Structure 1
Amino acid sequence: MTESEQPPGQSQQWILQFCHGYDGPFLDCARQYAVLFKGTAYKVCTVYLTGAPSEKVVRGSASDEVLFLDYSSRDVRGLKLRAIRDIRRIAATRSFTACIAHRFKPVYVALLGTNLPVIGVHHAFGDYQRRSRQLFANYFRKRLALLGVSNAVRDDIRACLPSWPSERIETLYNRIDIEAVQAEQVSREVARDYLGLPQDAWVVGNVGRLHPDKDQATLIRGFALALPDLPAGSLLAIMGKGRLEASLKSLAVELGVAERVRFLGQISSGRNYFKAFDVFALTSDHEPFGMVLLEAMAASVPVICSECGGGAEVVQGTGELFPFAQPAALAHSLRALLPRAGDQLLVARRLRECFSDQAARERFWVLGWIAS
């Protein structure tokens, strides 16, 4: 039913979702927030600040309407006056109740370009460390509420905005469509064949940019320390690309494990192949959340994570945690997971109760920031 077809006196209510772009995990972030309104009186219009129009993105956004402003990153530097005019024009086309804006630039543009209440969703640490951003947020605090994707991100924002009431800075975890993700994940045999991994090897998996933040150096060192106690022929498989590839390969040579470490490169739809791993290890420095942990858990793969940031919140109670940048502790965790597969019923329950679309929907409406 279109807005013009609504019964008299029942105008359609809309939510404006404003995203910086749809690269990497951010397309699914748009989907996550659009489905919060499934089965409600609201329709969702999702606007992408950067990125060319794409039918794939339209389908993946799970929204009633998708618009592309098609700016480049260079275009939205500075005051972003054109973007402000564009979002003001869009806001005038519908009866919008509120705006959900992902990351700081869309929050900035939405507040200056509309009179709507804005819910800012923050996916990283440090978004409000700058004094100018603190002043900006304080100026608009009457119609701004903030969400962190983990308690760690939430607490970082609260520390930057100490005068704000805590109930205006809350957590809404990232999540996955569990059934959809599991339906796309191929079997262990098919995944290993696709990735070129031996069917009979014990494989430690890792997915992420080859970047200092992901600390794959600790991963390689910990694997090398544990290797004598792991099954013969064990492998470490790292999925991803980045500027540290050469130095990480050199480290593997230096430690004498080059033949045991496989650099798989960038794999399209990598989460579909997580069943290739016997263990999944994330060694990041202060990970804001760690979506790959949820995808590994959905594949019934035991997980290990560094004990910092939002990743520790995901793994707590269902996997192994180790102190960040401690190879010996990581090696201990690898040995500890070797003889057991983990409690999959416990993992499935945690996914469902904490990191599913339904769990997020229930949590979001309890906040009361938008009238149900």
Structure 2
Amino acid sequence: MAGSTDKQQWILQFCHGYDGPFMDCARQYAVLFKDTDYKVCTVYLTGEPSEDVVKGSASDEVLFFNYSSKQVRGLKLAAIRDFKKLVASRDFAYCIAHRFKPIYIALLGSKLPVIGVHHAFGDYKRKSRQLFANFFKNRLRLLGVSNAVRDDMRACLPGFEPNNIETLYNRIDVEAVQAEQVSREEAREYLGLPQDAWVVGNVGRLHPDKDQTTLINGFALALPQLPAGSLLAIMGSGRLEQQLKNLAIELGVVDSVRFLGQVPNGRRYFKAFDLFALTSDHEPFGMVLLEAMAAGVPVIATDCGGAREVVGPGARFAYKSENALAAKLTEQQADGNLTLVEVPEAFTDRIAIEKYAAWIYQKS
């Protein structure tokens, strides 16, 4: 898509916003161009200007269009005009756009080649989006954050060449994440967890697709076989909070389940957990799994979606099976060989840089 050049060029990275994991996603793609001839300009469609975001984006320049979510519904004509002005301001080689709205704006607002990065399933289930992508397929290539997301897009867009829809895994800067994580003792004190308890951790929105219902049911089944005083600690907030609390009461485990709420920069405190459990329904990737691994915490996850690409078969259990989860919790607690956990090399910047370079310069 872009060859070598003697002229200074820029990469335009266009993000929907910087909430949740998306600022770090911008960082991940900006570092692909470290020590190259390219400079990276990262633009956020929504969200107010923030110095913390500027620092966290690891880019040569960071701009904020400062639209509200309401303003970028519909045709997004104002955003397209702003995008056109930006593209005309310098020599951009191509655009990396995260999520569908930025892809839509980038394609309509410029003649640049566009790499669309997708972080979720189902982005091209709609017929209108399939038609749009196929219309621009000569200058659109797509990346999924896991093979599962990639395969979902390939199934929806059979008119694309398969090698124009590929995988580039999410990843973390292991050293940076570890540097900000506090000790087990500090983490437990901050979260209000007893120092001597065996603690199963979970992090995510309290939402049906995270399936904390199975998590609580499975923990309740396993609890009699776990050490006395064992706890399930759930970090996150959402519309199912009261329903999940009621479930813990009904199962008689309310004293063993701690709802920690939304914890700012929660990954700092992952060392508080003895085991990390992800029960999500078809998680596109599961960044929290890597963050738990960076903390040296063993992980288990449902055998579906992108999670099966992050954790091995021995650490997976059947989705929505509280019995399988209970068995896995009991097994993991009893296994004394789970103290050393490393982030697989596939999810490091070095491997990502190599894979991206090989893909971007290939002949389609």
Which of 327, 333, 344 is the aligned partner of 1:332? 327
Ranges in structure 2 where 5+ consecutive residues have no aligned partner: none
- SS at 2:78 equivalent: helix
Are 2:360 and 1:365 equivalent residues in the alignment? Answer: no
Which of 203, 208, 227 is the aligned partner of 2:204? 208
Which of 5, 8, 12 is the aligned partner of 1:12? 8
State the Cα distance separating 1:352 from its structure 2 match. 4.8
Name the CA distance, whole Å, in 2 between partners of 1:243 and 1:110: 34
Name the CA distance, whole Å, in 1 between partners of 2:312 and 2:40: 34
Are 2:150 and 1:154 equivalent residues in the alignment? Answer: yes
Ranges in structure 1 where 5+ consecutive residues have no aligned partner: 1-8
Percent of pairs with identical residues: 71
More displaced, 231-240 or 352-361? Answer: 352-361
- SS at 2:27 equivalent: helix
Q: 1:129 corresponds to which residue? A: 125
Name the CA distance, whole Å, in 2 between partners of 1:316 and 1:360: 20
Q: How does 1:276-315 map to 2 (within 5 A)?
A: 276-315=272-311
Q: 1:32 corresponds to which residue? A: 28
Q: 1:354 corresponds to which residue? A: 346
State the Cα distance separating 1:11 from its structure 2 match. 3.0
Q: 2:229 corresponds to which residue? A: 233
- SS at 2:124 equivalent: coil
Which of 182, 189, 193 is the aligned partner of 2:178? 182
Name the CA distance, whole Å, in 1 between partners of 2:339 and 2:167: 26
- SS at 1:280 equivalent: strand
TM-score (norm 1): 0.94
- Aligned residue-pair number: 359
Name the CA distance, whole Å, in 1 between partners of 2:160 and 2:87: 27
Which of 241, 259, 262 is the aligned partner of 2:258? 262
Name the CA distance, whole Å, in 1 between partners of 2:93 and 2:14: 13
- SS at 1:189 equivalent: helix
State the Cα distance separating 1:165 from its structure 2 match. 1.2
Are 2:30 and 1:43 equivalent residues in the alignment? Answer: no
> After TM superposition, what 4+ stretches of structure 1 lie above 4 angstroms from structure 2?
341-345
**Amino acid of the structure 2 residue aligned with 1:355:** F
State the Cα distance separating 1:151 from its structure 2 match. 0.5
Name the CA distance, whole Å, in 1 between partners of 2:61 and 2:268: 28
Change (3 A) 1:355 1:307: same
Name the CA distance, whole Å, in 2 between partners of 1:178 and 1:69: 31
- SS at 1:79 equivalent: coil
**Amino acid of the structure 2 residue aligned with 1:328:** N
State the Cα distance separating 1:340 from its structure 2 match. 2.6
Name the CA distance, whole Å, in 2 between partners of 1:369 and 1:253: 57
